[in-house]
Structure 1
Amino acid sequence: MKLLPITLCLVAASSNLLAAGRDTISVVGSSTVYPFSTVVAERFGKSTEFKTPKIESTGTGGGMKLFCAGTGVDTPDMSNASRRMKKSEFDMCQKNGVKNITEVLVGYDGIVIANSKSAKQMELTRKELFLALAKEVPAKDGSEKLVANPYKTWNEINPKLPATKIEVLGPPPTSGTRDAFAELVLEGGCKTFKWIKAMKKQNKTKYKTVCHSVREDHAYIEAGENDNLIVQKLSANAKALGIFGFSFLEQNSDKLQGSIVDGKEPTFEAISDGSYPVSRPLYFYVKNAHVGKIPGIKEFLTEYTSESSMGEEGYLTDKGLIPLGDSKLEVIRKNVLSLKALSL
């Protein structure tokens, strides 16, 4: 009996798994994109003959690991992401046989630093947020020396801020929101120190470590991938702040308020026009090998990228999504429906 090469056996096994069938679309990934995908999935399930897709909130990084693990019914069809796929993740996909991936830019979102409406609205700068949350910060004496973060209360950073303990609930390292917060807020505040900014040219790795590392002495509290849990904790503790996507603030505007950052309040308009400094693009990724094998993927993509969903007046804007604009949406839709392959 002639034995097949092991690679052919693996491909055959993967194809057999797909052929064996799964009749429900599987989506994993970002907790920020989760509510948007959930709304589309529910509408899709009610308006077509296909089953409602299963959406799981695993965090962007966790979702990418599952998505890039391989092809077959035991792996997800799509992965939500609150940042763009990293080159290392793309390479992991390629290595594991996930060769053709379509990238979908959904829209934009702001990262808010929010607190309970029963407390005073905070007015913060990115520099103050860096000093409050970074693992190491410049010494208080003004010297060009980094020290373990000594700040315990907000007024130690700026006398105009409240004399309350620094207590910020935020996402874990696997979260795309955490990555974006580190890049947009912490690094944004970090590079206001000229001597640290100069470090980027001399030692990029050290610069990133200084500007992206979050303190580990319980001033920053990792609250998991469930943003609703952060909302609940802020409602119970008026002295704490929380970090999450603008859509969650929109959905809980009766209980919570967003902090003013660098003089700008997190509003739909300010995120849309880019004047709010902490905004980022949102994505999802499609495993093209599963299209036509798992029922309904192409039809789900059609619904997700439709004018009624992602458009200027689409139902996702009611959930807090900042839309792309008509011309950009048209290009995105064309690329998605033709399953244009991503290259990084």
Structure 2
Amino acid sequence: MNKLLGAVATLALLAVADNAHAARDYVWSAGSSTVFPFTTRVAENYSKKTGRKSPKVESLGTGGGIKMFCGGLGERYPDMANASRPIKASEYATCQKNGVKDIVEIKFGFDGIVIASDKKGPTFDFKLEQIYLGLSNQTLRGGQLVKQPYKTWNEVGGNLPRARILAYGPPPTSGTRDAFVELGMEAGAAKLPTLAAMKKADEKKFKATVSPMRTDGGWIDAGENDNAIVGTIEKTPNALGVFGFSFLGENAARIKGAAINGVLPTPHTIATGQYPLSRSLYVYVKKSQIGVTPGLREFINELVSDAATGRGGYLRTRGLILLPAPQHVIMKAEAKAGKVMAPPTH
């Protein structure tokens, strides 16, 4: 009898232990600082509509969020990753290795990366290659690759103001940084014949040459808090800030965006791709957690709803550039069906 009672007691303790490690009773999303304001707003509306516990939304940068997301399955890892660039093939491989097999990719809108300055400061109209020339660690001068020598923007190009080169931007863990390097630094460098030839001959060498930001104080990693960058450039004469378009919209009375190749960042130029630093925004979801994490399905439905990301949706007031209506219809259907993404190619 004592042995039987002991066995029952042990089973009871195991049951308590299992309950202590039961699935979370809230949704957990982590990643991009650019996507953070959008998923935070969706979380607020989701909680009001469902009465469920508010989701946990963390701003860690795209790379940091995807790293956590791909760490494994279960309550110790986020259900969703917010990203301001597509997931990389190497990140996807890590997910697969750690058991995160079926991933739903939701492209829910567009954003532009802006180069902004204080409203009262000089006006900039960059040629794309000037972004590379002024902000890279190695740059071209007289047709030769040299350690960054330029101190003022007018040394880079006569069309630019006589202002010291000082830019505050996101750190390497940020999707905004990744996109800025790809769309600004690398695309700008590729417009120069010497570097275009290098890219054609050895793309790996090209990226290693042109992608590192200058380290002499002309570029400063300013963390994941884009609002802090806004405050810094407002207080620092001639300083530039690099961040998502939504932060420009929120602070239009204080700061202004630079033109690139004569095109200013606006909802229209970003959505149509006319603005050179345009990009898509994503949320990645573990399909296996849908139906396991309470409220995850409802959160996804709120994100893709007409009320949030449809024409006139409330995320538009937060600065989101909406998908064209036909794309939104497709996105909504695929998200609700839990369509699994194909492996990325790069």
TM-score (norm 1): 0.92
Aligned match of 1:292:
291
Aligned match of 2:173:
174
Q: Does 1:317 align with 2:316?
A: yes
3-state SS of 1:198 partner:
helix
Provide the C-alpha distance between the structure 1 equivalents of 2:325 and 2:264, rounded to a whole number of angstroms. 26
Shift of residue 212 of structure 1?
1.6
Could you say which structure has the larger radius of gyration? 2
3-state SS of 1:56 partner:
strand
Aligned match of 1:24:
26
Shift of residue 176 of structure 1?
0.6
Change in 2 beyond 3 A, CA 1:49/1:137:
same
Q: Does 1:37 align with 2:39?
A: yes
Aligned match of 2:13:
none
Aligned match of 2:336:
337
RMSD of equivalent CA atoms: 1.3
Aligned match of 1:11:
none
3-state SS of 2:283 partner:
strand
Shift of residue 72 of structure 1?
1.1
Structure 1 residues not aligned, in runs of 5+:
1-15
Q: Map 1:146-157; keep pairs closer than 5 Å.
A: 146-157=145-156
Q: Does 1:138 align with 2:143?
A: no
Greater alpha carbon shift after TM alignment, 152-161 vs 171-180: 152-161
3-state SS of 2:76 partner:
coil
Provide the C-alpha distance between the structure 1 equivalents of 2:274 and 2:195, rounded to a whole number of angstroms. 25
Shift of residue 299 of structure 1?
0.6
**Contact map agreement 1:18 1:294 (CA 8 A) in 2:** no
* Cα shift readout 1:120-148 (whole Å, capped 9, x = no counterpart): 22121111111110111112xx23x2111
* Cα shift readout 1:141-199 (whole Å, capped 9, x = no counterpart): x23x2111100111211234222210000001111111111111111210121121011
Structure 1 runs of 4+ aligned residues shifted over 6 Å read none
* Cα shift readout 1:212-235 (whole Å, capped 9, x = no counterpart): 221111100000111111011012
Greater alpha carbon shift after TM alignment, 207-216 vs 157-166: 157-166
Aligned match of 2:278:
279
**Contact map agreement 1:118 1:238 (CA 8 A) in 2:** no
Provide the C-alpha distance between the structure 2 equivalents of 1:202 and 1:132, rounded to a whole number of angstroms. 24
Aligned match of 1:81:
83
| Aligned positions, number | 326
Provide the C-alpha distance between the structure 1 equivalents of 2:30 and 2:270, rounded to a whole number of angstroms. 26
Q: 104, 118, 123: which one pairs with 1:121?
A: 123
**Contact map agreement 2:190 2:199 (CA 8 A) in 1:** no
Q: % of aligned pairs identical?
A: 45
- Partner amino acid for 1:154? W
- Partner amino acid for 1:258? G
Provide the C-alpha distance between the structure 2 equivalents of 1:157 and 1:286, rounded to a whole number of angstroms. 43
Provide the C-alpha distance between the structure 2 equivalents of 1:283 and 1:160, rounded to a whole number of angstroms. 36
Shift of residue 17 of structure 1?
8.2
Aligned match of 1:255:
254
**Contact map agreement 2:129 2:189 (CA 8 A) in 1:** yes
Aligned match of 2:93:
91
* Cα shift readout 1:40-97 (whole Å, capped 9, x = no counterpart): 1111111112111111000000001100000111110100000000010000000001
Aligned match of 1:303:
302
Aligned match of 1:56:
58
Provide the C-alpha distance between the structure 1 equivalents of 2:198 and 2:236, rounded to a whole number of angstroms. 38
Provide the C-alpha distance between the structure 2 equivalents of 1:161 and 1:30, rounded to a whole number of angstroms. 31
Provide the C-alpha distance between the structure 2 equivalents of 1:55 and 1:213, rounded to a whole number of angstroms. 30
**Contact map agreement 1:102 1:285 (CA 8 A) in 2:** yes
3-state SS of 2:200 partner:
helix
TM-score (norm 2): 0.91
**Contact map agreement 1:17 1:73 (CA 8 A) in 2:** no
Q: Map 1:186-225; keep pairs closer than 5 Å.
A: 186-225=185-224
Aligned match of 1:3:
none
Provide the C-alpha distance between the structure 1 equivalents of 2:298 and 2:160, rounded to a whole number of angstroms. 51
Greater alpha carbon shift after TM alignment, 253-262 vs 265-274: 265-274
**Contact map agreement 1:29 1:81 (CA 8 A) in 2:** yes
**Contact map agreement 2:316 2:322 (CA 8 A) in 1:** yes
